[in-house]
Amino acid sequence: MTDTQIDNSECSVIGYEEEIETITDVIKRIGSGALEHIAIISEPMGGRTTLVHEIQRLYKDRVYYFPLEFVITQSKIPDFRALSEDIILIDNCQFLATWKIGGFDLCNHFLNLLISSKKLFVTTWNLFSWQSLSQVLHLDAYFPKILLLNKMDTPVLKQVILSKYKKEEIRFLDDGATERSMFYSKIHKDVSLPFYKEKISIPWIKLNFSLIFWQAPRKNRVQISVEDVIFEKINRIARGNPGVGILLWEEAFKRREISIGSIPEYAYFISLDINESFILFIILSMECIHEIDLKDVAGSEIDIAQTLYRLVQQDLVIETNGYYRISPFALGPVIDYLKKNRRLW
């Protein structure tokens, strides 16, 4: 098999240059020693699929792409040995296992296929599913290369979003709310002096303590433009999740304009019983799951219809054609809540 030469400068995704380089290196080493199967892990909407599409684009002919969109059965898994491609790219591998008795058989079958295969497997996993499955199936032992997609920094997120537009297509508006969101602002104070009748205006630095404590500014940051404050706010709400950040941008960006006041900020007061938090964990770790599969996981002890109703009522979960997923803007609060209750191991 000819080794396709890939120049890293061809990489068209922003923020994943290092990951692409690592994957490229592993692919270059195919045929020279043991295979290093790759697991790409991230939160929901954390950029896994973007990375996978980039690998697909870079290695078109060598890649067999097998995206999973819901829980599957063993019969749906193709015979990888019969394929001509030497790179098997499987997106959303969390669908290989379900949280029920007998729900790990397919994943075990897949892992056995993987270790006996001569092809390179590049797989993507939901972070929370990976963490849980690692505790029970020791997933990390099967993947010598584990790429955890970290939270995105504000400048990178800004670059990702702005790359979709031309410069003149966006107007960043200062709607007065900007000042409140800056770490400090320069103001002028009127001061009365004992020896001078008139009040004088002196420049003054007003610190925004709440923002300073929540998010310390980076070194050498002196001036923050409206544009930067807007992206800082987007990334603060999105908690470094690029998918959520892009959705927030799309919500706020209307008629080619965006202001800090137009960025929606949602508040969630989560109060759940043990069944609800368990089902919420299942939805979070699967990312998208059908009610029938949820019923299987819940068993007879949980009234799944009532539980889902409660989760939807609290805007934590959204339903589309019987499939349930975490509401994008509730992602951060849901993760915090489940961590607090030690539901995420």
How many residues interact with other proteins (rule CB under 8 A)?
21
**Chain centre to alpha carbon of residue 257:** 26
Least separation in angstroms between residue 304's CB and other proteins is 13
Least separation in angstroms between residue 111's CB and other proteins is 16
Among 73, 75, 102, 198, binds other proteins (CB under 8 A): 102
Candidate ranges 55-63, 128-136, 214-222, 233-241; the one touching other proteins (CB under 8 A): 128-136
Least separation in angstroms between residue 345's CB and other proteins is 5
3-state secondary structure of 124: strand
H or E element, residue 310 = helix 304-313
210 binds other proteins (CB under 8 A): no
Residues 249-308 that bind other proteins (CB under 8 A): 274-275, 278, 297, 299, 301-302
Structure tokens at 326: 């975490």
343 binds other proteins (CB under 8 A): yes
Least separation in angstroms between residue 34's CB and other proteins is 26
In whole angstroms, give the CA distance from residue 340 to residue 3.
48
Which is nearer to other proteins, 253 or 278 (by Cβ)? 278
Among 67, 103, 217, 261, binds other proteins (CB under 8 A): 103
Residue position matching structure tokens 């009234």 = 303
Among 72, 83, 136, 191, binds other proteins (CB under 8 A): 136
Which is nearer to other proteins, 70 or 104 (by Cβ)? 104
3-state secondary structure of 280: helix
340 binds other proteins (CB under 8 A): yes
Q: How many helices (H) and strands (E) does the chain have?
A: 13, 12
Q: Provide the strand spans (E) within 53-183.
A: 63-67, 87-91, 120-126, 145-148, 171-173
Residues 40-99 that bind other proteins (CB under 8 A): 99
Burial of 135 (0-12, 13-18, 19+ CB in 10 A): exposed
Question: Are the beta carbons of 27 and 59 closer than 8 angstroms?
Answer: yes
Which is nearer to other proteins, 167 or 342 (by Cβ)? 342
Question: Are the beta carbons of 65 and 80 closer than 8 angstroms?
Answer: no
Least separation in angstroms between residue 297's CB and other proteins is 8
Which is nearer to other proteins, 63 or 297 (by Cβ)? 297
Beta-sheet pairing, 289-290 with 317-320 = unpaired
In whole angstroms, give the CA distance from residue 252 to residue 263.
5
Which is nearer to other proteins, 259 or 277 (by Cβ)? 277
Which is nearer to other proteins, 98 or 178 (by Cβ)? 98
User: Nearest to residue 142, comparing CAs of 218, 90, 203?
Assistant: 90
Residues near other proteins (CB under 8 A): 99-104, 132, 135-136, 274-275, 278, 297, 299, 301-302, 340-343, 345
